[in-house]
Amino acid sequence: MRKPKVSFHAEVTQRFRFLIDQYGLDGPIGSDRLESSVVYSGAGLRVFVHFNDDTHDSAGKRISVAVHLDTGKAKVWADLDDLVESAVFAPRHRVASKAHTGDALRATLDDNALWIRRLWPILREPEAIELFRDANRFESDKGGNPKRRPKNIKWKYP
């Protein structure tokens, strides 16, 4: 028996509902232009959830989340995995991204929603712009891979 087809928009809407109910953001607004995405926005923040369905890409089907902050004086954005590492919550590879099956997609969205909840208090602080700047400072090696982070980091969520 075949499992029913998974709807990216429906799954995101269900798992990120807390952004509306608890944090008062507007949305979800869905788009299928270049890639499927869902956006939540309000109070200077926008949360983008993207589904990359490019099976020709080496990573295959995957989810990525980006957060945009507009303070009125500056506009910055960062990927969720970089924000998690910059906040010293966990190494960036701990943020799930797989979406090759319906179950993997749901598990990834649940994981991403958990990281957004954990980051939320920091995202609302006046100093949040520094977190975004730090998230975009990661150096890469010649192959485009992130350079090693300092040793002995004490992660909040190991």
Helix ranges (H only) for the chain are 8-15, 18-21, 80-86, 102-123, 128-135
Domain definitions of the chain by residue range: 8-123
Q: Is it the case that residue 1 has pLDDT exceeding 90?
A: no
Q: What percent of the chain has pLDDT over 70?
A: 91
- d(CA 27, CA 14) in angstroms, rounded, equals 12
- d(CA 67, CA 153) in angstroms, rounded, equals 24
Cβ-contact 82, 135 below 8 angstroms: yes
Would you state the pLDDT for residue 48? 97
Q: Is it the case that residue 95 has pLDDT exceeding 70?
A: yes
Residue 151's pLDDT band (cuts 50, 70, 90)? confident
Tens digits of residue pLDDT in 36-91? 899 999 989 999 999 987 655 555 789 999 999 998 888 999 999 999 999 999 99
